[in-house]
Structure 1
C-alpha cells in the first residue's frame, strides 16, 4: 500500500483508526496474561516482561519492518529508542490518573523488577553505543551490532526467569496492599473467566495480539507518509507521533493491569517491552536494503537512549525505596520521570 499517494486527511483518519484498534485489543491482553500467569505459576514479572511485553511490541515490530523495508531507517531507529523513553513516561501518566495519590512503585515490591530494569539499562546502553559507533562489520548483509543486541536480549530474559524463580533477597518492611477496588476488580475478573479453558485463553490472546499487529501496521505506514507530507521529518515523527501510537498497547495494558491490581505485571510489561525494542534492531537490519541500519541512523538518536537510561534508573530508585510520598498527586519518581522526559525531548528536538 502506498499511503503517500493519499491525502493527509485520509492518512490521519487511517492512523487514528489503526491506533484505536491497537488500544482496544491492548486492553484485553493484560487480562489474558494475568490469568495465564496465575494458572501456570509463571510469575507476573516474567509473564509481563516476556508475554505481555512481546505482544504489546507487535506494533513496534510492524513499524520497524515497514519503515526499514521502505528505506526509512531514521524513522525505525527513532521509533525504537524513542519508544523506550515514551513507555517509561507511560508509567508516570498511569500513576497520575489511575492511582491518584499513591505511588505506583509502592505496590511493586518484587526484586525481579529491579533485575529487569538493570538488564534494560544495559541493553539500551549497548544500542546507544551502536548508534554512535556505527556498524563495525557485516556478514551477508547483517551487522554484528543487531545480532549482539538480540542475543543480549535473550540472555537478559533468561536471567530474569531464573532470578524470579529463586530470588536472592526479598524486600523488608510493610508490603503495601493495592486499593480495595483493585482487589475487587481482580477477583471479579478471575470469576468471569473461571469457566474459560486455558486453551481458549491462549486463543483469545492470539486474536488480540493479531489485532494489535494489524493496527500497528497501519499506524506505522501512515506515520511514515505523514512525516513526508508534513515535512516534519522522520526523526521527530518517529520519536513522538509514531512512538506514541505504537505505545498505545503499553498504555492500555498497563492501565488495565493497574486497574485490577496487577502492579508488578504493569511495571514488568513496560520494562519487558523496552528490552524487546532493542532486540528489534535485528529485524530492522534484515529488512533494510540500503546497508547497515546503524550507519543510517543519526548519532543524535543515541541521546534518546541516554534519556531512556535516566528515566529507567529513576523508576528503579522508586521501586527500591518504596516511599509513600507524592508530589502533585503522583509519586516523586513519576514526577521526576515526566520532568526528564519533557526536558529531554525538548533538547532532542533542537539537535
Structure 2
C-alpha cells in the first residue's frame, strides 16, 4: 500500500505545482491591469492562493490528530519558501532584481518576525490558556495577522516604473478571464493539497518515519512547490514585487494556518503537542526572514558576488542547520 500513497503524494504535488504556474500568470495580469499592484497581488492574492495546500494539509492533519505534521507543515513551509527566494535570487543574479524591490515589504517582514516570535513562545510554554479548546497563541496569531493585513492595505505603496508596463500575456487576457481562471486553479490547489496531507500521514504511518520529519520536510516541501513555482513565474514575468510579496505573505499566512489548525485539533493544544524540533524550525524561520529584510533594504552592490553573498550565506546556513537537527 505504501507505493499507492507515494504515487498519490507525487501526483498531487505535480498538479498543485502546475496550478501555481497558472495562478502566478493570472495574478500578474490582475496586478498590472488593476490598481492592486505587485505588492498587494503578491502579499495577499498569490500568497494565500499558493498557500492553500498548507491550509488543507494542516487542517486535515489536525482533524486526524497529527500535531507534528500540522505544525511542522505550516512552520516548515516558511523555511522552504524563504530558501526558494534565496535560490532564485542567486539564479537571477545577473538581473539583480532584488535591488529594484519596494521597501514597503519591510512592513510585511516585520509582521512575519513578530509572528515567528509569538509562535516560538507558544511552542516553548508548557501550559497555555485556551478558550473553546483554542489556545491563546492562536488568538494572538489571528489578531496580529488580521491587524497586519489591515495596516498593509492602508500603506502607501511605491513600486518601480518597470512594473507599470503590461506584458504581452496580460494584454491578451481580460480581468474577468484572469479572475475566473485564478479561482479555478485555486480550487485545484485546494483539493490536491488535501490529498497531500492524507497521503503524507499515510506514508508516515506505513513506513514508521517520524511525523516531524514527514511534516517539516516531505509535506512542507511538497506544499511549498506551488509557492516556488508561483514566485519563479513572477520573476520570469519581471514582477519582482509580486514575487517578494508572495513569499513574505505566504510565510505569515502559514503561521496563521497553524492557528487555524488548532481550531480543528481536538486532542488539546496543537502548540503544546508538537515535538521540540518544531521550536528550532520557528527560530530558523525568524533568522531567514531577517536576512530577507536585509536583502530588500539594499539599494546597491559592488559586484555579483557581494550581491548574492547574503542569499548564499543563508542557503549554506540552512543546509548545515537542517543537517544538524535531523541527520
TM-score bracket, normalised by the shorter chain, equals: over 0.9
Q: Which runs of 5+ in 1 are unaligned?
A: 1-6
Indicate which of 285, 288, 305 corresponds to 1:327: 305
Shift of 1:46: 1.7
User: Distance between the aligned counterparts of 2:205 and 2:181, measured in 1?
Assistant: 37
- Alignment partner, residue 19 of structure 1: 13
- Alignment partner, residue 284 of structure 1: 261
User: Distance between the aligned counterparts of 2:290 and 2:129, measured in 1?
Assistant: 32
User: Distance between the aligned counterparts of 2:156 and 2:286, measured in 1?
Assistant: 23
User: Distance between the aligned counterparts of 2:126 and 2:195, measured in 1?
Assistant: 30
1:1-351 equivalence runs, <5 A: 7-97=1-91, 99-108=92-101, 110-165=102-157, 187-193=167-173, 196=174, 198-324=175-301, 325-327=303-305, 331-349=308-326
User: Distance between the aligned counterparts of 1:283 and 1:239, measured in 2?
Assistant: 17
1:102–1:326 Cα contact (<8 Å) kept: no
**SS state of the match for residue 266, structure 2?**
coil
Shift of 1:266: 0.2
User: Distance between the aligned counterparts of 1:104 and 1:45, measured in 2?
Assistant: 15
2:62–2:264 Cα contact (<8 Å) kept: yes
User: Distance between the aligned counterparts of 2:305 and 2:162, measured in 1?
Assistant: 21
TM-score (norm 2): 0.93
**SS state of the match for residue 268, structure 2?**
coil
User: Distance between the aligned counterparts of 2:305 and 2:69, measured in 1?
Assistant: 35
Q: Which runs of 5+ in 2 are unaligned?
A: none
* Deviation sequence 1:103-134 (CA, Å, 0-9, x none): 442231x1111111111111111111111114
- Tell me the C-alpha RMSD between the 2 structures: 2.1
User: Distance between the aligned counterparts of 2:127 and 2:184, measured in 1?
Assistant: 37
User: Distance between the aligned counterparts of 1:315 and 1:323, measured in 2?
Assistant: 15
Aligned positions, number: 326
User: Distance between the aligned counterparts of 2:148 and 2:185, measured in 1?
Assistant: 26
